[in-house]
Structure 1
């Protein structure tokens, strides 16, 4: 693809006649930023965009695990690991994890993402058996405690199989379905919604001098290729979520370049997930060294993503994000 089309998302109550919705949501666009690897960006009217691209951007996204993708959702992060960068060790005991899951739902989370293997920079791969031992009992207990969809955050087919057996509804793969070739066919067979995330390398090495030709377009091309890969295996596009992988093999300027133009990914015709919560770049920009104290910065990034039509915000601080999002929506709706 030589040209890339990013809808310039607006939420004004008054819109021009030619405006189209962004992914069937409240946002709309009438102008598009045309991006190219060999020429400067330029803004063009919607009339100059290929009709199939306009249709893909505008089309309502299908429900994911019963959730209406016409509005933004908050996904609560539930790490049942001893070594995650922000909350490692806090929810290792299943009873504590379930209590935290209940709390997040009470605070407004419409999905819970359970992870049993840390993907922080420098983290090492753990055995499948250990990851299952951490996640399986939590998901089983959580399934009886909350009614929202549960996502399993894993790269491994065996872990996903165990999680789905306990009631998980979605598979979220930080490797973008490149780590375990058995995972994508499993998801296709089970008819599961999936999330493809971009990461440059494994967690153990991803932050060692990451390089791109053009980070935004490189990430886009990877996700576009993986969407086609999954479609060919039998996972329809309307069950695919894309995540550009903020902080996964990306420096500060890489993260900002992606977030600044995150609406580009609407051109893939999939729901978009952003997981920037408490990450290092927020600490770098805000001067807040402790990850757990980066709440305000995390909420600011989440709202900036929502303002470009992102459908799923993956966060640690559910209550604060939901409160801010509800006020932002009220203002946008007048």
Structure 2
């Protein structure tokens, strides 16, 4: 059984991994099916999402950052609507303290920071004070330019070392080790070979010291392997998610909850016979 401690409660799943559903409160996320507000959130809840991840700032390759005020305007009303009907854990995809403060005050539970607490280091103090879990992601550069430099001497070692350093920063600033999750940042300043390397070895990141989130859903690396456009990458995504869970992923961040849950249900059933 997988468990995660939030600020005031513990969540668990008897599936091989937690399933996080993507709700993009933006007009320009790369997959239009992920866009929407509370209506999409309730659809994902109905499909069995364990956690919702709300984002008010697109971080697709080539995108530009938006202001904190714009993020708050996009995210907070959605959180408030969800909280009127559901206590599902809510993660917020933001780099900004003011956004996370507003989201937390409205009922959010988890910080998902693509900058791994680098853009606004004071976010670490806030997360520590409120005792919320944090997801620390590796990226190179900013979304508008990150695909201009995708060469590494040893991508696995470099990504793993970076994430371990950022986790150490979080711990030094009061965040509990048990509340740190790492994300290798598939597609964020990486080429196809690098992405596949990280997927195949995800469970070994940071020497296995921290649970790993894998966000693979419909990404360009799936398209490069399959030759499919974003709207046709579901089957490729399911295969990549399944491999990442078998390799040790603690959580998968997806657009398509029901198919992912079905895949994990089959995996759960088969694993019972692994040693027979």
1:307 alignment partner, one of 240, 243, 246:
246
CA distance in 1, matches of 2:207, 2:4: 18
CA distance in 2, matches of 1:174, 1:74: 18
SS at match of 1:314: strand
Question: Counterpart in 2 of 1:80?
Answer: 25
Q: Which runs of 5+ in 2 are unaligned?
A: none
Asked whether the equivalents of residues 62 and 238 of structure 1 are also in contact (C-alpha less than 8 Å), the reply is no
**CA-atom RMSD, angstroms?**
1.6
Question: Counterpart in 1 of 2:51?
Answer: 111
2:71 alignment partner, one of 127, 131, 134:
131
Question: Counterpart in 1 of 2:11?
Answer: 67
User: Could you state the TM-score of these two structures normalised by the residue count of structure 2?
Assistant: 0.93
CA distance in 1, matches of 2:34, 2:200: 33
Matched, 1:240 2:180: yes
Structure 1 residue 143: deviation in Å? Answer: 1.8
Question: Counterpart in 2 of 1:57?
Answer: none
Q: Number of matched residues? A: 269
CA distance in 2, matches of 1:281, 1:238: 31
1:319 alignment partner, one of 228, 237, 258:
258
Structure 1 residue 62: deviation in Å? Answer: 5.7
Question: Counterpart in 2 of 1:216?
Answer: 156
Structure 1 residue 69: deviation in Å? Answer: 6.9
Matched, 1:292 2:231: yes
User: Could you state the TM-score of these two structures normalised by the residue count of structure 1?
Assistant: 0.77
The answer to which of 141-150 and 230-239 deviates more is 141-150
Where does structure 1 differ by over 6 angstroms across 4 or more consecutive aligned residues?
none
SS at match of 1:68: strand
Q: Which has the larger radius of gyration?
A: 1
Question: Counterpart in 2 of 1:143?
Answer: 83
Structure 1 residue 134: deviation in Å? Answer: 0.3
CA distance in 1, matches of 2:246, 2:185: 18
CA distance in 2, matches of 1:266, 1:89: 30
Where do 1:1-334 residues align within 5 Å?
Answer: 63-65=4-6, 66-68=10-12, 71-87=16-32, 90-91=35-36, 97-265=37-205, 267-289=207-229, 291-334=230-273
SS at match of 2:23: strand
